[in-house]
Amino acid sequence: MYLKRWLLIGCLAFGFVGYPGPVGSQTQDQCQTCHREVLEDVPSQKYVNDVHFQKGIACAGCHGGDPTQADMDAAMDPKKGYIGVPRGAQVVQVCNACHADASRMAQWASPIDTVQFQRFETSVHGKPDVATCVSCHGVHEIRSARDPQSPTYPTQEVLLCARCHADPAYMRKFNPALPTDQLEKYWTSRHGQRLRQGDVRVATCSDCHTAHTVYPPKDPRSSVYALNVPIMCARCHSDPEYMKPYGIPTHQYDLYASTVHGRALLEKHDTGAPACNDCHGNHGALPPGVQTLSHVCGLCHALNAEYFGRSPHAAPFAKKGLPQCEACHGNHEVLPTSLEMLRPEAPVFTCRKCHTMDDRGTQTARTMYETIQRLVTLEEEARRLLTAAERKGMDVTDVWFQLRDVHAAYLKARTVVHTSDPAEVQKVVEPAIQLARQAQAEGQRALAEFDFRRKGLAFATLWITLLAIALYLKIRQIESRSRTGEPKS
């Protein structure tokens, strides 16, 4: 220890010239000469592996000062820009001096984007006391993201993010509600499983959340905002060349975008509609299994799942290992449902996949179809009559409210068909049919009253007109007699 101190003093006193380091290093960097050769401190030993060192950037590039001066005070003179160890926001400023300057980055022929900080400062990590550049990239041993030893290399990145996000005590300071089991879930996903096998092409944290523009999931700018999730997943899963080694279809996004779920989310911007992660999961992303698929769909379609569980289909489906909802509705290509799916003669008759045209299942479907269709016909006729009456100025507001109950029963009946029990459907439809008939009668009564009023008005108008004419003629008669002197009758 004493020997090292005397060597340092000698170095500073006599201007010991630094050894000629590897290509691109600063050969006159007195900071490196003393810290690495004399003090043998850890940071200087690590810095030889740093991408900045390999580009010829001396210690002063970040710490400031004059690296050509052997005298310690002269080398660390604040007038020469010496700042010592950057801390907090100062770290970002130091990194920005180069990384936000396109001309400087061009000197090293760097392909790195120079707008990282503009993105970072608006992200959740850019808030004070959350993270800085060195939190993720390291300090004295910063490596290229393509280097397997870099903390931002795919196999290391998930562990890097987990240093904070898997620490409940640390995360409590910023967001106590944020789960801290994401890493554990990730290892159970297909992405995590393949990453552990050395496949660096699979999705890691930054592939979904991005590196510098990490926003909360409810922020429309976030890559994991509901409207952006399908497009984000499609970046890999819709690329035939990228997905070729995995043998996975690449048309899922196209199917999804054209169906009832995709249109609700992507066209109508209904963020309550399911995106990829609602069915496959987020960090523990796995395709739903046959036995779990109905539970996934049942998260939104709870009544459908409950009715199907009571149906005669439930046990055979489970025995044969058939996916419940997917068997009739599909998975990515979920089309809008209609009564036609129950009509045996219709091209979209769903039961045809398993049933023949004359078996019990088909007859059950026909019965349910005809029962609900009868309600539909009555409702449409009631609407026609009420609309006609309303256009004629008749007050039928209360009847319209009654018709709402009819339509609600129709919607419920379409859900009850999952029981495959015509009697259950009949229980829902029959009371609604009576309401629909009452609405029809009210509509007809309103139209009849309008006709009565119209005829009464026509008769009254005619009577008043005739009376006016008679009165007019009588007045003319009186006036004529008055001019001729005839006595008034």
Per-residue pLDDT of the chain (489 residues; tens, 9 = 90+): 443 443 444 443 333 333 333 333 345 788 888 887 777 788 888 898 999 998 888 889 899 998 888 888 888 989 888 998 988 888 988 999 999 999 989 988 888 889 988 889 899 998 878 998 999 999 999 999 999 999 999 999 999 999 999 999 999 998 888 999 999 999 999 999 999 999 999 999 999 999 999 999 999 999 999 999 999 999 999 999 999 999 999 999 999 999 999 999 999 999 999 999 998 989 988 777 645 667 788 888 989 999 998 999 999 888 888 888 888 888 888 989 999 999 999 999 999 988 999 899 999 999 999 999 999 999 999 999 999 999 989 999 999 999 999 999 999 999 999 999 999 999 999 999 999 999 999 999 999 988 888 888 888 898 999 999 999 888 888 888 787 766 655
Distance linking the first and last C-alpha atoms of the chain = 149
Helices of type H across 338-421:
360-391, 397-416
**Could you tell me which residues come within 8 angstroms of residue 476 by beta carbon, excluding any fewer than 6 positions away?**
none
pLDDT for the residue numbered 41: 84
pLDDT for the residue numbered 452: 86
**Domain 338-457 grouped into CATH 3.10.20:** no
- In whole angstroms, what is the distance from residue 350 CA to residue 418 CA? 12
What backbone phi and psi angles, to 5 degrees, belong to 470?
A: -60, -45
pLDDT for the residue numbered 289: 62
pTM score, whole prediction: 0.77
- In whole angstroms, what is the distance from residue 179 CA to residue 166 CA? 8
DSSP string covering 175-230, please? -TTS-S-HHHHHHHSHHHHHHHTT-TTS--HHHHH-SS----TTSTTSTTSTTTHH
User: In the chain, helix, strand, coil percent, each to 5?
Assistant: 60, 0, 40
Tokens of residue 59, six digits: 């210690």
pLDDT for the residue numbered 486: 61
Helix (H) or strand (E) run with residue 457 in it: helix 422-484
Q: How many CB atoms lie within 10 A of CB 349?
A: 19
Indicate the domain borders of the chain.
Answer: 338-457
- In whole angstroms, what is the distance from residue 135 CA to residue 58 CA? 21
